[in-house]
Amino acid sequence: MAWLLLIILISFFAIQFIWARRALRVFSGSRMLRISGLALFVANAFVALTAVFGGITVAAGIDKFPADWLTGTVFSSYLIPGLVLCVVVGGSATVAAVATIRDQKSGAISSALAGGILLGWLVGERLILPPAAFSPQFWWLEAIYVAAGLVMVGSAVTAVWIGSKHRF
């Protein structure tokens, strides 16, 4: 599993090195707008990579979770949750990351939607899975994704607000 984390980290830093300057150009204007655009791109790329790869490993059974965690849910295996994580959460973040390097308004709006989807996924996990699924030693991991979702929504709202203020 360490090799997969290494691949994700290398991919993340390569994407940041290649495309972050483009996000700064798209969100040019005030300093706050540039910060918002960069935050959107970084958070979107992080969520996109980790959700896509994480969803694939969950759906394929590479990342093993106890089957009894699904007792009482509509799922009989981790295939569907893994595909939803990959396609819906990861796909929306991927679309948002690409949009942030293309257009300020569509990048901000798609990032807000992707952040909302991520936060909804996290709430859904809490509602569906038993308390045993949330071990105390991994609270920080969930906190990272809550923070990423809040950055996506908050930076998107800031970018739209600043962008609309400059048009008037």
Give residues with Cβ within 8 angstroms of 26, minimum separation 6: 37, 100, 101, 102, 103, 104, 107
User: What pLDDT is recorded for position 17?
Assistant: 85
User: What pLDDT is recorded for position 58?
Assistant: 93
User: What pLDDT is recorded for position 1?
Assistant: 61
Question: Which sequence spans correspond to the domains of the chain?
Answer: 31-167
Exposed / middle / buried, residue 146 (Cβ in 10 Å: 0-12, 13-18, 19+): middle
Q: In the 8-state DSSP scheme, what is residue 27? A: T
Q: Which residues of the chain have pLDDT under 50?
A: 168
Q: Where in 3-162 does DSSP place strands (E)?
A: none
- Identify residue 87 by its one-letter amino acid code: V
Token duo for residue 80: 């569907």
Q: Is the CATH number 1.20.140 carried by domain 31-167?
A: yes
User: What pLDDT is recorded for position 168?
Assistant: 43
Instruction: Note the pLDDT tens digit of each residue in 35-48.
Output: 999 999 999 999 99
Spell out the long-range contacts of 13-21 with Cβ–Cβ below 8 A and sequence spacing 24 or more: 15/45, 15/49, 15/97, 16/41, 16/42, 16/45, 19/45, 19/101
SS3 state of residue 102 = coil
User: What pLDDT is recorded for position 3?
Assistant: 72
Using only C-alpha atoms, the chain has a radius of gyration, in whole angstroms, of 17
Short-list 92, 106, 87, CA closest to 37: 106
Token duo for residue 102: 């293309």
Give residues with Cβ within 8 angstroms of 125, minimum separation 6: 133
Q: Are 33 and 27 a contacting pair, CB within 8 Å? A: yes
User: Can you tell me which residue has the tokens 């394929």?
Assistant: 60
Instruction: Note the pLDDT tens digit of each residue in 75-110.
Output: 999 999 999 999 999 999 999 999 999 999 999 999
User: What pLDDT is recorded for position 123?
Assistant: 96
